[in-house]
Structure 1
Amino acid sequence: MTTEALRQPSRERDGAGGNGLLMLLLVLMLLVAIAFAMVGGIIGDDPMSLLGGAGLSVVLAFLLGGFYSLQPNEAAAITNFGDYRGTDRVNGLRWTWPWMGKKKISLRANNLISQQIKVNDQRGNPIEIAAQLVWRVTDSAQALFDVDDYRGFVTAQVEVAVRTIGARYPYDDFEHKEVTLRGDHERVSGELRAELINRLSVAGITVDECGFTHLAYAPEIAGAMLRRQQAAAVVAARETLVAGAVGMVEMALAMLNERQVVELDEERKAAMVSNLLVVLCGERDTQPVVNTGSLY
């Protein structure tokens, strides 16, 4: 049997904490009894009353050691000489046996923004990523007893998860055919959350939401990638422009032929197509040349 199979994860269960207000009432009654015993022993010179008052004082000190309080979204793991006895999640004044250990833990939502880390994306390009997540403890026993420092554990696992997701997809796809870190934010954030929940489950922690706060090419390739993006944008614009120009030329030739405005042979059609494409695709205004002679 492997070591992993032998190790059983801790599981939270109801603790042994009791109502502290009832114990507080008992403490007040003991105070009154101690006062009467001491005053009676001193006035009546009764050693037994003094001894009884001293005994009640010891009991009072014993009971006072068992009080603790819990605020909203706070829990206390109760241990008996190292043996986990359960978790108390009831708010207010609580009481348990004084020899019981009480480890408090916050159940509130926590916000964490990771440091920027450098990751190689799916295509090997270095990119910088930083993530933000909202996490909270769901199982106090696992958070306190299955990991040494659950807050440090969260910080370390965030970096590992970000590296895993960052290497799974390319930063950008100029042809828009792949899932990318920049173009599919919701999908990638969902996978990052699932990865974090899986990694943090051993510590009894869940992730409510997460996403990237910083996503960019590393400085050493940022300039080259910017020029590539600009070139891709220029090519895309040119493709659209040429496609539109070809459509307009086809329409012009069809209308001339349909209305029989002028009959052109193949050579003149080629010349017209060339001239129209120059006019429509050129970046500068063209200067027309008026032909006053024959077309031939």
Structure 2
Amino acid sequence: MKEEKIITPVDGYLILFVFILLIILGGIVLAMQNPIGVFMIIFAVILVKGFVMVQPNNSRVLVLFGKYVGTINKNGFYWVNPFFTKKKVSLRASNFDSERLKVNDKLGNPIMISTILVWRVKNTYKAAFDVDNFENFVRVQTDAAVRKLASMYPYDNFADEGHEEDITLRSSVNEVSEALEKEIQERLSIAGIEVLEARIGYLAYAQEIANAMLKRQQATAIVAARHKIVQGAVSMVEMALEELNKKDVVDLDEERKAAMVSNLMVILCGDKEASPVLNTGTLNQ
């Protein structure tokens, strides 16, 4: 495959001076009724087609009758062969925010996902000749890469189903972004495109399952919180029994210990504040 060829053409200001000189001399010769003046002016007009101005972070791909000549990637004012075809290719970083795509994750759940891509042209030859339209190529291949990435990872972990993946789309932001960037770069390398950054811009469950998944996440959070509360309550009850026994505050038999544990667990694990009851009689009443 032919690679990019960087060239440095003739300084445009020098040819501009020649152009002005030809116009002046051609006018003088023509005024003297000499036909050579006409050819001088025509030649000067032809020179004008060779002028090319390259802005910063831009380039010009030069083609002569279907043959690639080279690329100008240094900004300035130049002059090239007037018969060259000059195709402008921007070298600036471009930002692409894809549309929200509806795809299935690894577990088959429909999700909505989009990506933000920062890219630029690295090889002007590939961008100009190896693909039909490199900007459209970037959009199409980015969407394809996002679809593939979404099918490789689950949206979230669900330990109750046995799906305990290390990497998920929701929580593993850095790992997913690296995988996405690598996948897009492999697809865009054929067009001479360099991927500067790729990350997920939007991620959510599809509308038809969003409510159900939200309830599931809430239930998982409640179960985890209850588990933490029970662990704390058990340790507190254990500590209370140990302290009572150590300081010999009261002698409790097994039945009273069981009642005490039951009351403390109800108080510590309950959703509402406990209502204290004052016992004015004996422990048996």
Q: TM-score, normalised by structure 2?
A: 0.93
Q: Which amino acid aligns with 2:28?
A: F
2-structure distance, mates of 1:294, 1:209: 72
Shift of 1:284: 2.2
State the shift of 1:134 in Å.
Answer: 1.2
Residue in 1 aligned with 2:3? 11
Which residue is equivalent to 2:110? 126
Q: What is the deviation of 1:90?
A: 2.5
**Which residue number corresponds to residue 72 of structure 1?**
56
Structure-2 separation of matches of 1:165 and 1:24 = 54
Contact 1:16 1:86 in 2 (8 A): no
Alpha carbons 1:16, 1:85 under 8 Å: kept: no
* Structure 1 residue 295, shift from structure 2 partner: 3.9
Kindly report which structure 2 residues correspond to 1:98-137, keeping only aligned pairs within 5 A, or say none.
Answer: 98-137=82-121
RMSD of aligned alpha carbons: 1.7
**Are positions 1:293 and 2:282 aligned together?**
yes
Q: Which moved more, 1:62-71 or 1:75-84?
A: 62-71
Q: What's the offset of the Cα at 1:200? A: 0.5
1:242 aligned onto 2:230? yes
SS of 2:35's partner is helix
State how 1:138-149 maps to structure 2 within 5 Å: 138-149=122-133
Residue type matched to 1:147 in 2?
V
Match of 2:253 in 1: 265
Q: Tell me which residue corresponds to 1:152.
A: 136
- What amino acid sits opposite 1:142 in the alignment? K
Correspondence for 1:25 among 1, 17, 24: 17
Q: Report SS of the residue matched to 1:211.
A: strand
Q: 2:200 aligns with which of 207, 212, 230?
A: 212
Q: Which runs of 4+ in 1 moved over 3 A?
A: 174-177
**Range that drifts further, 159-168 or 280-289:** 280-289
Aligned amino acid, residue 53 of structure 1: G
The 1:294/1:35 distance shift into structure 2, 3 A limit, reads closer
State the 1:289 CA deviation: 5.2
Shift of 1:177: 5.9
- Amino acid aligned to 1:98: P
CA deviations on 1:102-127 (whole Å, 9 max, x unpaired) are: 11111111111101101111111110
Query: 1:37-59, CA deviations, whole angstroms, 9 ceiling, x for partnerless residues?
Result: 12223xxxxxxxx1211221232
Question: 2:122 and 2:176 mapped to 1: Cα distance?
Answer: 24
Q: Which runs of 5+ in 1 are unaligned?
A: 1-7, 42-49
Give the Cα separation in 2 of the matches to 1:128 and 1:177. 20
1:279 aligns with 2:256: no
Instruction: Report the Cα distance in structure 2 between the residues aligned to 1:90 and 1:19, rounded to whole angstroms.
Output: 12
Name the SS of the counterpart of 2:181 in structure 1: helix
Distance 2:62 2:274 in 1: 87
Q: What one-letter code is carried by the residue in structure 1 that aligns with 2:27?
A: A
Residue 294 of structure 1 deviates from its aligned partner by: 4.3
Q: How much has 1:241 moved relative to structure 2?
A: 0.8
CA separation in 1, counterparts of 2:280 and 2:144?
Answer: 73
Provide the C-alpha distance between the structure 1 equivalents of 2:228 and 2:94, rounded to a whole number of angstroms. 49
* Post-superposition offset of 1:89: 1.4
Q: Is the 8 A contact 1:15 1:77 kept in 2?
A: no
Letter in 2 for 1:109: A
* 1:285 alignment partner AA: E
Contact in 2 for aligned 1:17/1:95 (Cα 8 Å): yes
Query: In structure 2, how many angstroms separate the alpha carbons of the residues matched to 1:206 and 1:285?
Result: 61
Aligned residues: 280
In the alignment, the residues of structure 2 paired with residue 169 and residue 264 of structure 1 have an alpha-carbon distance, to the nearest angstrom, of: 56
SS at match of 2:170: coil
For residues 141 and 82 of structure 1, the distance between their equivalents in structure 2, rounded to whole angstroms, comes to 13
TM-score by length of 1: 0.90
For residues 165 and 279 of structure 2, the distance between their equivalents in structure 1, rounded to whole angstroms, comes to 48
Deviation at 1:16, TM superposition (A): 6.0
Percent identity of paired positions between Structure 1 and Structure 2: 45
- What one-letter code is carried by the residue in structure 1 that aligns with 2:135? R
Q: Give CA deviations for 1:218-254 in whole Å, capped at 9, x if unaligned.
A: 0010010010011011101111111111011000000
